[in-house]
Amino acid sequence: MAAMEVGSGLDALFAPASIAIFGASEDVTKIGGRPLQFLRKYGYAGAIYPINRKAGTVQSLPAYAKVADLPQAPELAVIAVPPDGVLDAVRDCAARGVKAAVILSAGFSELGEEGSRLQGEIGRVARSTGMRVVGPNCLGAVGVPEKAIATFSVALESSFPPAGPVGIVSQSGNLGSYTLRLAAERGIGISRLLTTGNECDVDVADGIAALVRDPGTQVILCCMETCRDGAKLVEAMRLAREARKPLVVLKVGVSEAGSAAAASHTGALAASDAVFDVVLRNGGALRVPSIEQLLEVGHAISIVGVERAPRGNKVAVLTASGGFGILLADAATAQGLALPKLAQDTQQRILSVVPFAAPSNPVDMTAQVSTRPEILAEVLSAVAADPACDAVLLQSANAFHVPRLRDVFLAALEQVRREHPSRLIFLCCRAPQDVRGQLNALGIPTVEGIDAACATLASLVRFGSASTSPTEGSFGSSSPSPTGGGLGWGHAQPLSPDVFSTEATAKRALSDAGLPVLQEVVATTPVEALAAARAIGFPLVLKIVSPDIAHKTEVGGVVVGVRSEAQLRDDYETLLARVRQNAPGARIDGVLVAQMAPAGTELILGTKTDPMFGPVVMVGLGGIFAEVLRDVALQVAPVDEAQALQMLRSLKAFPLLDGARGRNKADVAAAAKAVASLSRFAAAHADAVAEIDINPLVVLDAGQGAFALDALLVPANQEQT
């Protein structure tokens, strides 16, 4: 059967006309009992078919021994039987014409080889028949407006969430149901919940894409542990971005604990979570660090909408306290928000209302706002009208809990929203749930807590900025490139196995691909070394050439600053003797006689082929501190020179290239060209090359170029070496 479009076939999961429950139980504490109980308790309007080997009745409904006995083919099947009965149930569903199935049962790939084999068989049934299968080992799904419940989650035992525009996709069942429960408690309306579990068929990318197509979903919250198909995830994010539906992602598993040691500096620096970060950012997703922020950001965006999301990071802060103003200024700045000085006219308007206010930014309205709350509308209106700001952040500690202040504050905020309908007004406040509901209905997001408020506002700024940037040509584009890069990994002319042997062969291949290198010759005798020196010119560098020695300095295999023929003769023999002593078993192919580079700024440059997202190019501060300082920029390959330049500019070390403290400006254009050339090479040879390490890439003064002084290519299959 042809591959299915990402996210297709899930309408039957969220809005089925009929549902069959395999393993339906009279006992509502059992996994097979709860979905049936929930469907009846919350008023699902479609047909419900309990399936139980004993038939009879289950929870007062007629039961059937098998799916073939049903009066019609159910659109959705919920499977809650022991693992050894799941495959037969799935096959029976496919034969009966069921459109989608949710496998709640556990005991598959999470338990080992036999479970993995069984799960694989289930996936093959799904792919061969087109029936979409969620799970196994999942907590199921809920279509909230339709009350279509295919879950046993305890989150539904006491109440059902309100319907609304926020959809939730989670690989973890408990994370997803907990997010659903917290959202309901905060009054956030939910459209759909999907938990994908072991993902034998439907994965998190399918869930995202399905919610993009769902007209009732306007914001998508995603709890993600990993990715099983990078291309599908990128495609799902593209669909979300084109539909202008915000995707907020909580990606867990950020540590490098337990990861295998990398073969190169690049491998150590390009950790998998860093790659995820790049892919999510390229796709326009908003990444958050906690469930709390997932909810706050998702809720805020659902209130503000795409059109009113701020396009810039300039924020005006209003408080009734200088102390709170300082706290907010610190927290906002830490989140990348800027507090510009308000226009002189704005400050005069503020002072005309509160002569002893601090009118610059943050604006301290003083405690007068509690004795004369009517001044809030005047000050807030003045600030909202200031073109220097993209958003207004108002802080209130207690006003909404004081009856005499609450109505005045609400009236002032309603007035300012009418006067400035396109300006984002954001509240950092404590307020009763009903008051928060009134504020949200006005289009005003509310967050309790200074740090949380500033983090949420910063996410709104990132979303607003991303929603106006072009999708074409952005980093990590999955569109085809001349070399076949991006997530469609390329197939150029096969590389000779020799390119993985030594620095010399690696640099030769990279030079052919456009990477700049200095003159160098491999010499196997002192006579050849002397001839090479006369052709290249002094000063020179000597390096051991060996397929068994990746890090030459560790065995004394490098000599720098050879300035005469006599020194060359001595250093050549000394270098060989030292290497033979320190690495007695290493094969030696000769000595590399290389032109010595002028002084410059050292960068580390490299690529790593991520198993999910393909080649990733990395550039950062080079030399011995590369892995200590970890000042690196990553992007999915290939990138062009403009994108490479943006990577360089994002480095904390960029001032070293840009003439800081009287230094000469470096040839940044040459460095960007080297990054782009390497990224194209990596994309073209993604199937053959696992990692590339260039350390250092020395960048000379402007107009003088940049050169790769050392290179290591690591094959995708180590047997190639």
Q: Kindly state the percentage of the chain with pLDDT values over 90.
A: 81
Residue 82's closest CA among 34, 126, 22, 28?
22
Q: Decide: 485 and 684 in contact? Cβ < 8 Å.
A: yes
Q: Decide: 222 and 132 in contact? Cβ < 8 Å.
A: no
- Give residue 280's pLDDT: 94
Classified as helix, coil or strand, 111 is helix
pTM of the model: 0.89
Query: Any idea what DSSP says for residue 638?
Result: P
Mean pLDDT over 690-695 rounds to 93
How many of the other CB atoms lie within 10 Å of CB of 654? 17
- Give residue 478's pLDDT: 35
- Split at pLDDT 50, 70, 90, the class of 649 is very high
| Residues 491-506 pLDDT 10s | 678 899 999 999 999 9
| Residues 205-233 pLDDT 10s | 999 999 999 999 999 999 998 888 999 99
DSSP track, 338-391: B-PPPPHHHHHHHHHH-TTSB-SSSEE--THHHHSTTHHHHHHHHHHT-TT-SE
Residue 7's closest CA among 290, 274, 222?
222
User: Given a cut of 60, is residue 80 above it in pLDDT?
Assistant: yes
Who wins on pLDDT, 331 or 629?
A: 331
- Give residue 490's pLDDT: 58
- Give residue 4's pLDDT: 79
Who wins on pLDDT, 439 or 488?
A: 439
Mean pLDDT over 42-66 rounds to 95
As a whole number of angstroms, the distance between CA 151 and CA 31 comes to 8
User: Given a cut of 90, is residue 471 above it in pLDDT?
Assistant: no
Q: Decide: 716 and 687 in contact? Cβ < 8 Å.
A: yes
Mean pLDDT over 432-461 rounds to 95
| Residues 166-186 pLDDT 10s | 999 999 999 999 999 999 988
Residue 379 sits at φ, ψ, to 5 deg, of: -65, -45
- Give residue 258's pLDDT: 36
Establish how many alpha carbons lie within 13 A of residue 530's alpha carbon, considering only the half-sphere containing its beta carbon: 9
Who wins on pLDDT, 408 or 131?
A: 131
Mean pLDDT over 136-141 rounds to 97
- Give residue 272's pLDDT: 78
Is the bond preceding 598 in cis, omega lying within 30 degrees of 0? Answer: no
User: By CB neighbour count within 10 A (0-12 exposed, 13-18 middle, 19+ buried), where does 493 fall?
Assistant: exposed
Q: Which two tokens stand for residue 563?
A: 């300035």
Mean pLDDT over 3-10 rounds to 90
Classified as helix, coil or strand, 251 is strand
Classified as helix, coil or strand, 486 is coil
E strand intervals along 400-552: 424-429, 446-447, 520-523, 540-545
Mean pLDDT over 341-368 rounds to 93
User: Given a cut of 70, is residue 256 above it in pLDDT?
Assistant: no
Q: Which residue has the tokens 């078919």?
A: 49
- Give residue 680's pLDDT: 97
User: Given a cut of 80, is residue 124 above it in pLDDT?
Assistant: yes
Q: Which two tokens stand for residue 524?
A: 């196997």
- Give residue 187's pLDDT: 87
User: Given a cut of 50, is residue 512 above it in pLDDT?
Assistant: yes
Residue 100 sits at φ, ψ, to 5 deg, of: -150, 150
Classified as helix, coil or strand, 610 is strand
User: Given a cut of 60, is residue 474 above it in pLDDT?
Assistant: no
As a whole number of angstroms, the distance between CA 583 and CA 546 comes to 10
As a whole number of angstroms, the distance between CA 36 and CA 73 comes to 18
How many of the other CB atoms lie within 10 Å of CB of 408? 19
As a whole number of angstroms, the distance between CA 113 and CA 316 comes to 58
- Give residue 370's pLDDT: 82
- Give residue 662's pLDDT: 83
- Give residue 625's pLDDT: 60
- Give residue 628's pLDDT: 67
Q: Decide: 390 and 461 in contact? Cβ < 8 Å.
A: yes
In DSSP terms, 603 is beta-bridged to 621, 697
Q: Which residues of 13-50 are buried (b: 16+ CB within 10 A; e: fewer)?
A: bbbbebbbbbbbbbebeebbbbbbbbbeeeebebbbbb
User: Which region holds residue 406: left if phi is over 0, alpha if psi is between -120 and 50, else beta?
Assistant: alpha
Amino acid letter, 426: F
- Split at pLDDT 50, 70, 90, the class of 481 is very low
Is the bond preceding 246 in cis, omega lying within 30 degrees of 0? Answer: no
- Give residue 1's pLDDT: 57
Mean pLDDT over 567-588 rounds to 95
Query: Any idea what DSSP says for residue 250?
Result: E
As a whole number of angstroms, the distance between CA 432 and CA 318 comes to 21
Q: If residue 288 lies in a helix (H) or strand (E), which one and from where to where?
A: strand 286-288
- For the chain, helix (H) and strand (E) counts, in that order, are 24, 29
Specify the range with the lowest mean pLDDT, choosing from 261-275, 518-532, 559-573, 687-701.
Answer: 261-275
- Domains defined along the chain, listed by start: 11-255+262-301 (3.40.50.720), 309-468 (3.40.50.261), 519-595 (3.30.1490.20), 601-720 (3.30.470.20)
In DSSP terms, 275 is beta-bridged to none
Q: Kindly state the percentage of the chain with pLDDT values over 70.
A: 92
User: Given a cut of 60, is residue 267 above it in pLDDT?
Assistant: no
- Give residue 439's pLDDT: 95
Amino acid letter, 378: E
Radius of gyration of the chain from its Cα atoms, rounded to whole angstroms: 31
Mean pLDDT over 528-552 rounds to 94
